[in-house]
Chains A and B, each alone.
Chain A
Amino acid sequence: MGFIVYLAWVSVAVFVFMVAYRALKYASMPLSLRWELYPMPGEPPGGGSYMEEVDYYKKPVHHNRIAGLLEMGAEVFYLKKVKEHNKFGIWPFSMCMHWGIYLLFLWVLLLLVEGIFGLDVILPVTNIIGKIAFVIGAFGSLGLILKRAGVRKLSLYTAPEDYFNLLFLFAIFITGIISWSGDPSFTLSRAYIKEVITLEAAPVPLPNIVIINFILVELFLIYMPFCKLIHWLAKYFTIDKIIWDDAFKVKDSPQDKKVLKQLGYICNWAGPHLVPGKTWLDEAQIVDGGGNN
């Protein structure tokens, strides 16, 4: 007991804190101009927004949240657009790697549930999920590494950091497979989880491979919010808060007040048609070409 137990708790704390911090950071950025994209969820494939109606502003606008959730779900769990539009054949690998990650976290969660509540009944399910996670995750991450390295049109855009991220994931999954091969019913993994929950040393010494596997998972939790792998959170903002944000502005609404505030920001662009140092509202009222032009 010691470092590896505390690392588990620290990793969860860092992850939660950083995800909340990132979410708050994006949510508190200035209100951008409308930049939506059609069709919206639930609209016919060929389009069909509320702006198709004369006097649309007098009519109620219905947003189909369920269709939105289904569309988001299709992306998260099926990578639908990658499947339909990616010409480099990355979908099977990407799908396996993503599901490997989902199942890896589900496996850890189930181990925790078993440990906390003593729910031995779910043990077979936990074991199967863990095995599937490691196998498909390793297959997917290795496949993506080879794809990115082997196809020049992908490798041109792939930075060492991207390979590192994929290798990191591959390392988690491959150590998981090795750990599982020496411990087919994950008894030792359960012992580690028990140690984390109770803060008491395991009754038997844990093999290095089990410890390495969990340390990698925990380091991954710490690392993820600092790199691109947190794109799942960004996706909520790019899609739900920008592409699907089609509501028009109403006078005196919270949005309206934000716009008023932002028009007071200083516009310091140096183009010859601008007068630096003025507020955005002042700049907008200059129609004669500004001070420098």
Chain B
Amino acid sequence: MGKKDITFNDMAQLNDEPLLSLRVEELMRVPDLGVEPPIQPPPEKWRANYDFSLDGHAAVGVPKPKNEEEKARLVRGFLSGLGKLFDPQNNWTFLKILKLTTDYCMRCQTCSEACHVFEASGQQEIYRPTFRSEILRRLYKRFYTPGGRLLKSFVGANVDLNYKTVIRLLESAYRCNICRRCVQVCPMGIDNALITRELRKLFHQEMGIGPVPVFQKGTRNQLKTGSSTGMIPAGFKETIEFIEDDIGDRTGKKIKIPLDKKGADILLLHNAGEYLSWPENPGAFAVLFDAAGINYTLSSEHIGYDGVNYGLFGDDVEAARIALKHLMVAKQLGVRKVVVGECGHATKCYCVITDRIFPGDLSMSELPRESCLPLFWEIVKSGVVKLDPSRNNFPTTLHDSCNIVRLMGIVKPQRNVTRAISSKFREMTPNGAHNYCCGGGSGFAIMNDFNFAQWRKKVSERVKAKQILEAFKDCLDPGTEKYVIAACSNCKGAMRDIIGHYKLWDKYRITYGGLVELIVNAMVDLPKPFLEMEFIGSE
């Protein structure tokens, strides 16, 4: 089906044919990308058992209903959850924003071009920021408002609802990174990204349906084992020992990483993905904090060593459970504040979202939470650690995590640090609070079930690939190594995808890493570079 023909009721089409079949030629053109792998259709054995009818991809992979009862159950669950989304007791957390957004979007489409997914896809209608929210809006009107029941077609409440609508809407909720760039340009302050999140919430909190890596292997796993990676406390302690050894190898320094130190100033909370995929990142924190004399500790308590909170991506209850555990760990340690490492969603979760989840002693005024970035700038600015920017004598650019810049307004510290330690820094365009998402945000970076990774690499990560190539356009020569700074675990996952899929290391010697590694790489008392300029892909 051509992109111009889609209507809302196509979402209810009962056949299995995808509403959209993506083709590389129709995607946004990226200069310097060269020939890229084509988009593969899903294998027949998947298609026989799972629903791919939105766009030929599956983030969740809903099994095809086997009978009428299963189909009816999907519709019943959806309608029940839809009602709860608009109920003050069941959804006090976001009701006000949801209700205003549902009632007052003027459908002027001013937000469309702000969306990197819509743009990267070649402006496919089903990815327009208002498409999925308009369907939710019309279904809500149809089933839950007197106006919708009485004046169905007149108020637009005539969207068909069947099990296919439900499944396609579910998949559609995972075609938006919830970066909220669309909200920034909305003249009304309407939050279509929030509707995406609320849709995810409806499916998971009411029906228990969501991407396995985010919920079953994410929040559920974290609450049961202690970490979304499955790492138990004993495994965490072993990992810390490994990192201490690695620090010794890289720097010649013998550093003991503090664990469970009561009364420390700071509880440092890392994303556990760092320990497994980028252990040099927590290692660099240890080197820098040791050199700067920061009185901090990590926690080896159940959940206390994994700052991840995937509840943020679509389940308020799971978010509250994990956040409560983290805050209680901090309370028990008696730290003065919590500092979140290089992880965008965890930083926003603890500094912004959880601010109003818990009262009393868990309020921000009593147990403050901060990003690590201002602390980095304090350290660099103070001169307590001697740094030489010529040690980072290669082109760098800075990718901003949406959670840090647009959703927290932390823009300057990371730039001040980068300019102080990197002699060939250049900005991406646009940047700061107006940046583009890496394409891995809101859980996408860890979602690799079925063929979702293909969609992510081709569509949601495409604009970032373009930005990276543009930032380095004056030095694309493979004789020059280049470094994309991404002070966020999810973003680093996306960078790994982009560089690997589009072969940016092979072609242009572009690699990526965190900010703290770059700071440590500039420390004058290290005998050799801390950074190893290389690229290790995930494929």
9 contacts between A and B (CB under 8 A): A31-B356, A44-B411, A57-B364, A154-B107, A162-B156, A235-B189, A243-B183, A253-B363, A284-B321
Q: Chain B residues with Cβ under 8 A from A263's Cβ?
A: 358-359
A288 to B1, CA, bound (A): 46
Tally A-B pairs: CB < 8 A: 293
A251 within 8 A of B: yes
Contact of A35 among B114, B128, B190, B191 (CB under 8 A): B191
Q: Chain A residues with Cβ under 8 A from B106's Cβ?
A: 228, 231
A34 to B364, CA, bound (A): 12
Quick check: which of A78-86, A176-184, A190-198 contacts chain B, the rest being far away? A78-86
A87 to B8, CA, bound (A): 22
A251 touches B360 (CB 8 A): yes
B317 touches A38 (CB 8 A): no
Q: Chain A residues with Cβ under 8 A from B255's Cβ?
A: none
A24 within 8 A of B: no
B90 within 8 A of A: yes
> In chain A, what residue has the closest Cβ to B190?
A238
A61-82: CB near B (< 8 Å → 1, else 0) gives: 0000000000000010001111
Q: Chain B residues with Cβ under 8 A from A51's Cβ?
A: 351, 370-371, 374, 408-410
A162 to B156, CA, bound (A): 9
Which A-B residue pairs are the 3 nearest by beta carbons? A49-B409, A159-B156, A47-B411
Given A51-B370, A53-B374, A161-B155: A269 touches B321 (CB 8 Å cut-off): no
A271 touches B220 (CB 8 A): no
Query: Number of contact residues on B: which range applies?
Result: 35 or more
Chain A, 79-110, CB within 8 A of any chain B CB: 79-82, 84-88, 90, 94
A267 to B363, CA, bound (A): 22
Contact of B320 among A46, A90, A272, A283 (CB under 8 A): A283
Contact of A159 among B154, B352, B405 (CB under 8 A): B154
Q: Chain A residues with Cβ under 8 A from B125's Cβ?
A: 153, 156
A269 touches B370 (CB 8 A): no
Query: Beyond A85-B114, A154-B109, A160-B154: 10 further Cβ-contacts under 8 Å?
Result: A26-B96, A36-B407, A37-B183, A38-B408, A45-B434, A48-B412, A88-B109, A259-B358, A270-B77, A270-B207
Contact of A90 among B108, B184, B191 (CB under 8 A): B108
B431 within 8 A of A: yes
B100 touches A271 (CB 8 A): no
A273 to B292, CA, bound (A): 44
Q: Chain A residues with Cβ under 8 A from B359's Cβ?
A: 251, 256-257, 259-260, 263
A94 to B187, CA, bound (A): 12
A268 within 8 A of B: yes
A32 touches B95 (CB 8 A): yes
A31 to B204, CA, bound (A): 23
B71 within 8 A of A: no
A238 touches B363 (CB 8 A): no
B399-414: CB near A (< 8 Å → 1, else 0) gives: 0000001111111110
Q: Chain A residues with Cβ under 8 A from B368's Cβ?
A: 55-57
A34 touches B411 (CB 8 A): no
A30 touches B92 (CB 8 A): yes
Q: Chain B residues with Cβ under 8 A from A289's Cβ?
A: 220, 223-224
A202 to B183, CA, bound (A): 51
Contact of A37 among B113, B208, B407 (CB under 8 A): B407
Q: Chain A residues with Cβ under 8 A from B7's Cβ?
A: 156
Contact of A234 among B100, B130, B408 (CB under 8 A): B100
Given A238-B101, A242-B97, A242-B189: A40 touches B356 (CB 8 Å cut-off): no
A153 to B104, CA, bound (A): 19
A33 within 8 A of B: yes
B539 within 8 A of A: no
Given A159-B154, A234-B100, A268-B89: A34 touches B206 (CB 8 Å cut-off): no
